Amino acid sequence: MATRETRLSETFVSLADTLVKDFDVTDFFYHLVERCTELFDADQVGLVLAEPEGTLQVMAATSEATHLIELLQIQSEEGPCLESFRTGRTVMANDLGTKEARERWPVFAKAASDAGFGSVAALPMRLRDQVIGALNFFRVGREMMPSDDLISAQAIADVATISVLQQRAVRDARVVIDQLQGALNSRIVIEQAKGVIAQHGRADMEQAFALLRGFSRDNNLLMTDVARRIVQGEVDLDILTRVNRP
């Protein structure tokens, strides 16, 4: 069985390798959050990214519940991920049930607690003074995330940030903005495709996403392209839901 150090090294390599050819920034973000749940003491992980004008959007999450909580943070303009993005610092909430946490983030703390989470750590995605988003670790337990995990997780967040900003096609700030905007647009198409799959296959949204991603990988296609074809009615949904059901 691979050691933690080996798996961390493999993750750093895979994050860099993702950018070598046929870069799909949306799949890159999902790869990032999934790896983080495998490597660190976290039950769910979410990622928020800033649009060019600074507005945050949810780009990836390991569950629908986490996705909704991230959305709620943005809509209510409160929560650790927003504070991490705004300050460029790690923000910890070691017990969401405390009076302090509920007074600090009344909407977020209640929603996260109701979803079964007891603590959260939000880490900035930053390169020097530039912060492009936040990586958020949700835990059922009500205690501090291990310090070794925090250090390694921040390193991964930093590498992911550098990977996005220095992707081979990026030559200037205009290209960076266009690429990130494209990722945000892809998020909309993917959500639409999930809805189509869920309605057709009588599946929930998590199952729908698993079907979408599984079909993309099995057929060596970009997830965004498959989602767009589904929305346009160009994919046989009977085959997709039957062959790729998780």
Domain boundaries, the chain: 4-168, 183-243
pLDDT at 173: 53
Q: What is the pLDDT of residue 244?
A: 55
pLDDT, residue 168, reads: 44
- Can you tell me the distance from the alpha carbon of 106 to that of 118, in angstroms, rounded to the nearest whole number? 14
Is the CATH number of domain 183-243 1.10.260?
Answer: no
Q: What is the pLDDT of residue 169?
A: 44
Comparing CA positions, the residue from 107, 133, 113, 130 lying closest to residue 122 is 133
0.75 surpassed by pTM: no
pLDDT value at residue 183: 78
The token duo for 90 is 């790690």
For position 180, what pLDDT does the model report?
74
Query: pLDDT value at position 159?
Result: 86
Q: Residue 115 has what pLDDT? A: 93
Q: Tokens 């392209």 label which residue? A: 225
Res 20: pLDDT:
57
Cα dihedral sign, 60-66-71-75: negative
118 token code pair: 């007891």
Supply the pLDDT for residue 133: 92
Under 8 Å between Cβ of 84 and 95: no
The DSSP bridge pattern shows strands 130-139 and 91-93 to be unpaired
Tokens representing 175? 């290209």
Q: Which residues contact 201 (CB under 8 A, 6 or more apart)?
A: 207, 208, 211, 237, 240, 241, 245
CA 15 to mean position of chain CA atoms: 14
Is residue 120 classed as helix, strand or coil in its secondary structure?
A: strand
Cβ burial, residue 10 (10 Å; 0-12/13-18/19+)? middle
Helices vs. strands in the chain: H and E counts, helices first:
11, 5
Helical (H) or strand (E) element with 135:
strand 130-139
Q: For residue 18, what pLDDT is reported? A: 57
Nearest CA to 117 among 143, 154, 88, 99?
143
CA dist., res. 125 & res. 92, Å (int):
15
DSSP structural state of residue 6: H
Encode the chain (246 residues) as per-residue pLDDT tens digits: 566 666 766 766 666 665 555 567 788 888 889 989 988 889 999 999 887 677 889 999 999 999 999 999 999 999 999 999 999 999 998 899 899 999 999 999 999 999 999 999 999 999 888 899 999 999 998 888 888 889 989 998 988 888 777 664 454 555 667 667 777 888 889 999 999 998 887 788 898 899 888 888 888 888 889 999 999 988 888 877 775 555
CATH topology of domain 4-168: Beta-Lactamase (3.30.450)
* CA–CA dist 11, 32 (Å, integer): 9
